[in-house]
């Protein structure tokens, strides 16, 4: 049914999730397109074209193809066990930033427990991931990886994990500094009242990427450890 799978943070049902899904134009939970909010002077559809297919999310384990001999049912069962054994984590808050060329919500304050949870997800579930193909490796390397990121790519299939991981909830494609600052100034007062503070990650979500490239929620798992 799906060509790739991913493990993301996705927010619970509510105004925060609703606004961000609308901003991106895709609701991965409902599996449907949404109308963008209107911001005078900006084409929100163009701003969000690149991240739209993923829905509003924070990456925990980047999209992967299932390894030979593994099934989505096995993945679901393992995720359920993992979630039962791991506790929710909290960061003091999330703030909208234009960083690394795109707009995203990023943690404020201490995020050690969150980073440790994500590292466990990456490592404990890696046997479900098929090795990256030559085309994917070449595409990742175009970013100009450090030696450590190259090691991550070859070990975990993705460069930005472990010490190179930075939790974020993406809200735009690439924007130069001027455009990023302008969009941030318009978006921040609409978004910030909706962002939970403190910010609790108490669920993880399995999603699948359909043939049209859009990601759909398969199942949410409560962290109950």
pLDDT, tens digit, for every residue of 87-138?
999 999 999 999 889 999 999 989 999 999 999 999 999 999 999 899 999 9
pLDDT at 112: 96
DSSP for 69-82 reads T--HHHHHHHHHHH
Residues of the chain whose pLDDT is less than 70?
none
Question: In the chain, where are the structural domains located?
Answer: 4-111+168-222
Domain 4-111+168-222: top CATH class: alpha beta
Q: What pLDDT does residue 115 have?
A: 97
Burial grade of 186 (CB within 10 A; 0-12, 13-18, 19 or more) = middle
pTM above 0.85, yes or no: yes
- Supply the pLDDT for residue 225: 87
Number of H helices, E strands in the chain: 7, 11
**Residue 39: per-residue pLDDT:** 87
pLDDT at 1: 83
């Amino acid at each position: 049914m799906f060509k790739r799978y991913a493990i993301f943070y996705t927010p619970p049902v509510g105004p925060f999730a609703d606004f961000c899904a609308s901003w991106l134009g895709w609701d991965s939970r409902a599996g449907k397109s949404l109308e963008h909010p209107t911001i005078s002077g900006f084409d929100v559809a163009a701003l969000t074209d690149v991240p739209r297919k993923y829905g509003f999310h924070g990456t925990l384990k980047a999209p992967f193809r299932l390894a030979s001999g593994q099934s989505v049912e096995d993945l679901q069962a393992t995720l359920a066990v993992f979630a039962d054994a791991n506790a929710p984590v909290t960061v003091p808050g999330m703030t909208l930033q234009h960083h690394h060329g795109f707009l995203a919500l990023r943690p404020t304050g201490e995020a050690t427990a969150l980073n440790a949870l994500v590292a466990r997800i990456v490592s404990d579930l890696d046997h479900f991931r098929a090795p990256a193909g030559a085309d994917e490796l070449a595409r990742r390397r175009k970013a100009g990886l450090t030696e450590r990121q190259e090691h991550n790519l070859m070990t975990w299939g993705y460069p930005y994990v472990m010490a190179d991981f930075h939790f974020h909830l993406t809200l735009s494609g690439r924007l130069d500094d001027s455009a990023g600052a302008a969009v941030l100034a318009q978006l921040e007062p609409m978004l910030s009242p909706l962002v939970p503070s403190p910010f609790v990650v108490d669920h993880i979500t399995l999603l699948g990427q359909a043939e049209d490239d859009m990601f759909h929620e398969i199942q949410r798992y409560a962290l109950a450890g």
